[in-house]
Amino acid sequence: MGNIIYRRKKDSKENNGSRSRRIGGRSQRKMAAEEELLHRQALSMALHQHQLSQRFDGSMSRRIGSNSSRRHTDPLANNEKKVVESLENIKFRRIVLIHGEGFGAWCWYKTIAQLEEVGLLPTAMDLTGSGIDLTDTNTVTTLAEYSKPLIQYLEALPEDEKVILVGHSSGGACLSYALENFPEKISKAIFLCATMVSNGQRPFDVFAEELGSAERFMQESEFLIYGNGKDEPPTGFMFEKQLMKGLYFNQSPTKDVALAMFTMRPTPLGPIMEKLSLSPEKYGSGRRFYIQTLDDRALSPDVQEKLVRENPPEGVYKIKGSDHCPFFSKHQSLHKILVEIVQIP
């Protein structure tokens, strides 16, 4: 699957100036109406995803549009029956999807639909202060607080049940935290272009090559949020929209980018600045897998390669042409890899 190329028609000069102004006015009103509609759809989707996250199984059973039209069929259609049959004997079918910084459960809407179609049981959840969780981001100061919805989910699992965790971007730190504290409840942990840190590292350290040292970022970044006042340490951060588009969504469909622009929230700073304590006996005994995104501008392929080299997982997969959000830009490829990892004995 190649990259999606967007073309913009060159502006043409019209002699009829008044006609152009009338068309321009109508276009602006139309754009404003479409923007408002997208906003309402984003909020509705976020609410629906929050409702899904309160249950141990999903309810989205219909396919949400494939991004391919070759031969008038879904690219997975021919193999779907075989995939469903091969998954029938899989013991652990529950997959918990953990979003990254600024995102929420809403970002997994394509992935949820595809996983359910092959008989798996996906659950997406909002971390504390994310998505439509009402907690003030500025009050979330530790990784334990940030990961609380995931921890509560794992604590409520039956003794004989295990889940597969998928963590995106800084959500990888939540996976590491869960592996250290609940190794017996996690079948596999899949890091999706994520902060797969080593013992004693901070999640932020993974982004240091792009953002500079943590100390410098805390002192100089223009994206910091001071929830307790300028005289107090910063409590969160959020990138400006245009920068965010370039960092996260350089290959994502326009509609998904619009959804994200309306729905993303500030990221609490404390959790990503916290050093993780990871032991060989607990974290080290977990089955880890890493999915690299090869057109990623937020976490470069070189940095991702360094992560898997310094902290080797059981398996490494790569998605060509994917930006930092493969659940938008390459959701079919991501789905195929997730199903493949699920089937590994």
Per annotation, catalytic residue among 53, 130, 147, 169 = 169
The answer to the question of residue 46 being in a domain is no
Residue 312's pLDDT is 96
Decide if 168 is catalytic. Answer: no
pLDDT given at position 91: 73
Strand partners, 165: 96, 189
d(CA 266, CA 223): 10
The answer as to whether 8 is a domain residue is: no
In a domain? residue 64 = no
pLDDT beyond 60 at 272: yes
Confidence at 37, pLDDT banded by 50, 70, 90: low
- Place 82 in a pLDDT band, splitting at 50, 70 and 90: low
With a pLDDT cut of 90, the percent of the chain lying above it is 66
**pLDDT at residue number 283:** 97
296 in active site: yes
User: Which range, of 17-31, 112-126, 150-164, averages the lowest pLDDT?
Assistant: 17-31
DSSP state of 193: S
Q: Tell me what pLDDT residue 63 has.
A: 27
Reply yes or no on whether the pLDDT at 7 is more than 50. Answer: no
User: Which residue type is seen at 87?
Assistant: L
Work out the mean pLDDT of the chain and round it to a whole number.
81
Band of the pLDDT at 31, cuts 50, 70, 90? low
Q: Which pLDDT tens digit goes with each residue over 278-300? A: 999 999 999 999 999 999 999 99
Enumerate residues 6+ apart whose C-beta is below 8 A from 241.
261
Taking the model in full, what pTM does it have?
0.78
Select which of 50, 99, 168, 324 is catalytic: 324
Q: How many domains does the chain have?
A: 1
In a domain, 73, yes or no: no
Residue 84 forms part of a structural domain: no
CB 180 within 8 A of CB 154: no
Domain holding 223, by residue range, is 90-343
Q: What percent of the chain has pLDDT over 70?
A: 71
> Residue 330: is its pLDDT beyond 70?
yes
Q: Is the pLDDT of residue 149 over 60?
A: yes
Contact 275, 201 (CB under 8 A): yes
- Most confident of the following: 32-41, 60-69, 119-128: 119-128
Residue 26, domain member (yes or no): no
Q: Is residue 16 part of a domain?
A: no
Exactly one of 50, 296, 329, 331 is catalytic; which is it?
296
pLDDT on residue 4? 28
- The DSSP secondary-structure symbol of 157 reads S
Q: Is 206 helix (H, G, I), strand (E, B) or coil?
A: helix
Q: What is the model's pLDDT at position 208?
A: 75
User: 165 with 175: CB under 8 angstroms?
Assistant: yes
Could you give phi then psi for residue 263, rounded to 5 degrees? -110, -20
Q: What confidence tens digit (pLDDT) does each residue in 204-238 have?
A: 988 876 665 566 676 667 889 999 999 999 999 99
**CA gap 9, 7 in Å, rounded:** 6
Does 43 have pLDDT greater than 70? no
At 189 the three-state DSSP class reads strand
What CATH number has the domain bearing residue 190?
A: 3.40.50.1820
The reply to whether 39 belongs to the active site is no
Assign 72 a pLDDT band (cuts: 50, 70, 90).
very low
pLDDT band at 45; cut points 50, 70, 90: low
Please report whether residue 33 resides in a domain: no
Burial of 280 (0-12, 13-18, 19+ CB in 10 A): exposed
Residue 27, pLDDT above cutoff 50: yes
Given pLDDT bands bounded at 50, 70 and 90, which one contains residue 34? low
